[in-house]
Amino acid sequence: MGTSQQEWIERAGAVLPAGGFGNFDPGIIIREGKGSRVWDEDGNEYIDYLIGSGPMMLGHGHAEVLDAVQEQLGKGMTFFANNARGIELAEEICRAVPCSEMVRYVSSGGEADMYAMRLARAFTGRDRIIKFEGGYHGMSAEAQMSLAPSRLANFPTAVPDSAGIPSSVRDEMLIAPFNDIEFVRSLIAEYQGKIAAIIVEPLQRIIPPQPGFLEALREECSNNGIVLIFDEIVTGFRFAYGGAQELYGVVPDVCTLGKVIGGGFPLAAIAGRADIMAHFDKSKVGADGFLMQLGTLSGNPVAAVAGLKTMEILRRPGAYEALRKSGETLMAAMTNALTKAGIDHRIVGDPTLFDVVFTANEVRDYRDVFAADAGINARFNAALRARGIFKSPGKVYPSLALTEEDIAQTVEAIEFAANELCREPVA
């Protein structure tokens, strides 16, 4: 007999704070994944809509990606030196992503966002950053300001989401409500000449930009010498091959990329205008303007070949149409089932990334999500898990590995979960 899931949970509790890696529910231990499905250590099978929090767009264990990785493994796993595969990947990113003239690699999206903000400060000589309440930009001190505050402060006051952050960091961050361009304009006017960057997820978690919002951010940044940073760690190569900036038609000065570009391996990047990216090159900007950045695994060739093959497959005809069709089917299933059950809800997001928010009100920003019914959300997700659906508490990530059988089983699970919400919860 193998080790049971409960035994693994107990072992994790002895060596891992809170019994986990800090990412996801530590009450489930994933044993393996194949295609659209994962299995836990007790052998329970799930259709996977978490997909590693986004990178596994092709599903788990895609044969072509595995072949590319296996070939590279025989040539070396990492070098801490330039390698051809990393150069090829940078070339493809520059071809695909509208804002990308040059690329600098890191190993995680949080690093990419941290360096992007530092880069904007180096380029402008200014210190303050505008961030939107509820926006996720990794784990740096700046990013951990008003990510998911349980205490709603008056804007633009930043609320630290973590212990251990100096108050001086809070003072450099200006917090605005997402989709409120007039408030952004008021901040720019009040802090004229002091704002280095606006960092924004083009789709904030799952909340879409209102028509004209991203365009207005672009205009304000251009008019005021502010660096516009799109955090496309999630949306890059998911919304479209060129990311959200291609889909929405708004080009930032700098963007951050991750998840898909590593094909399931640790890899992320900062990409942007050459004059801004020059601050990574001391010979171009001198010692005072130089932004030091290095990392042991940056540009790792195994991650690079996995990303290159993943991106090659995404370029094939029909890939994005198939991804969007799956998402649209699931969004419609949620709408139909919850409407029939008489449950107040909003389906929020893009067909490639979305979820249900249990509220009768329009969802425009973090506070609209914060005010929604978290209890019903937890019950809905628990019912889906009981019917073999594995997902984040607040996101559905469709993948290209989904089959018609998967979709049919998911629709059935959604109908079951909606009906469960009509029952009185057990005390």
Q: Which is the catalytic residue, given 136, 248, 320, 366? A: 136
Residue 370: Cβ-neighbour burial (10 angstroms; 0-12, 13-18, 19+): middle
Q: Catalytic annotation on 320?
A: no
Residues in the chain: 427
**CA gyration radius for the chain?**
22
Distance between CA atoms of residues 386 and 99, nearest Å: 43
Residue 305: name the closest of 59, 51, 92, 52 by CA. 92
Distance between CA atoms of residues 15 and 151, nearest Å: 32
Matching residue, tokens 């990113």: 93
Q: Which is the catalytic residue, given 231, 355, 365, 406? A: 231
Distance between CA atoms of residues 334 and 383, nearest Å: 13
Q: Catalytic annotation on 259?
A: yes
CB 416 within 8 A of CB 383: yes
Residue 177: name the closest of 363, 359, 366 by CA. 366
Angle between helices 319-340 and 301-314 (to 10 degrees): 80
Q: Which is the catalytic residue, given 131, 259, 309, 391? A: 259
Sign of CA dihedral 21, 356, 398, 412: positive
CB 194 within 8 A of CB 226: no
The terminus-to-terminus CA distance of the chain in angstroms comes to 36
Known catalytic residues are 136, 231, 259
